[in-house]
Structures are given as structure tokens and as C-alpha cells.
Structure 1
Amino acid sequence: ELIRLNYGEEIVAEAERKVAEILVENRNEGDICGIFREGEFVLFADHTNFDLVRAYGNVRAYVKELNDKLKECCLDDDRGYIKCAVGASVYPETSDDYDELYEMAEKACEKAEHSEDARAVIYDKKEEEVSRS
């Protein structure tokens, strides 16, 4: 919203394009990536490698790597950085229901948006709290 207020719609489109490029460049084969609604993207990724014990660790590592790349994302001509918040939930670790997984990822994203130090958060249902990555 700050980009829209300070620079206008054209720059918002540039910011969304840059974030989309990072998501597409960093997805694995078979991952599904797209725009969910204005300013929000969704990425469905399989990090299990048929090992559910390692899946949570794989997601945590992937979210951290993606977050690091998004932190470096900036507008052209050094007009400023694009602040991105990443929220994640893990199937089947946190839930096996799509709607619940999405809700948890959305809660984690909201937590990331309001956090000063972490822009990537993974929802941890077992502890009924959100853990930072």
C-alpha cells in the first residue's frame, strides 16, 4: 500500500512483477505458483521427498532461502526496497485440510507482516503458535 501511495499503480505493478519473478525463479519442478489476489501470491510446493520427517525442515529451509531473496528485492532506479511477508503452513504436519492450511499460512503471513525482525513465518499448529524461521 505504501508503494501505491508514494509512487502510483505503475510502480505497484513493477513491484508485483519483481516478486513474481523471484517466486518463479526459485520454485522447484512441480511447484505451482500464481497470483492469489492483488499483492498476494500463492506457492504450493512439495518438499517431502517421500520423507515426512524431513519435510518440515525442508520447508523451513526453503522459506528462509526465499525470504532472503525477497529481502534483496528492490524497485528499479533504487527507489526503495519491496517489503515482502511470507507465511507458510506444512501438509500434513499442520493439517491435511486445504482450507485450514491456507488459513494457517494466512495467519503466519499476518504475523510476518507485523514483525520487525522476521518476514517469513511458518505456522506451528502443534504449539498453537506461530514460529519464526
Structure 2
Amino acid sequence: MRELEKWLARVLLLNSGLALAVSLGLLGQAPPARMATFGVALLGFLAALLSLRRHRAGAWGGMLYYLPQVLIFHRFDGGWQFSLQAGVSLGVSLRVAEGVLVVNLLALVLLAVTAVVCYRRARQPATAS
């Protein structure tokens, strides 16, 4: 189980590092979207560092990092949109009457694996280190 947790923390570190580069303008992104991406990327980066040190808050922070990335919605008329793409994205596009709904499958899988890690950690008895 520890190897899975290490792998998950490393993927989170890579994903959030890429998102930090995007939000700082190194890889190109429109200025209004940078602040939200920066906040989520910083959360993911700190969560990855905590996860590498095996803190419980790291796994919960990873869940908070992946949760807003699962669903992305773009309206056809240019109205209200929800889009937060921080890190690597692999998704499925669904065309609905008002716009396009994108389900980020990579974020969904990583969210599910992180939830399993959190659940298993919660069920383990606390041990003194």
C-alpha cells in the first residue's frame, strides 16, 4: 500500500508542478484563469509534499486538488462556464443542448484512487512513529 501512496504522491507532484508552470505564465494561459489555477496548483503541490511525508492531510488535499477538475463545462453562447484544468487532462466530451460537458477521466481515476487511500488510512489504527 505504501508504494501506491508514493506513486500517487509523485503523480500529484508532477501534475501540480505542471499546473504551477501554467499558472505562472510559463506555458501560456489567459490571465483571468491564472489565479484559480495557481490556487489549485499550490494546493496540489503542498498536498503532494505532505503525502510524500505520509501526512493524512496530503491525501485529503489531493482529493481537493482533483475534485474541481473532474467536470468542465463550456457554454455555446459564451455565458457562464466552469473550467479548471490544472495539470494533465484526458477527457470525454459530451455535447448537451447548452454547451459541451467534458469529463476528465484522468482526474476521475486519480480522485477515486486517492479516495481509496484516504478510506484505508481512516480504517487503520493510529500508530506511534
TM over 0.5: no
Q: Which has the higher contact order (CA 8 A, sep 6+)?
A: 2
Normalised to the residue count of structure 2, the TM-score between the two structures is 0.30
Please identify which structure carries the higher strand content: 1
Normalised to the residue count of structure 1, the TM-score between the two structures is 0.30
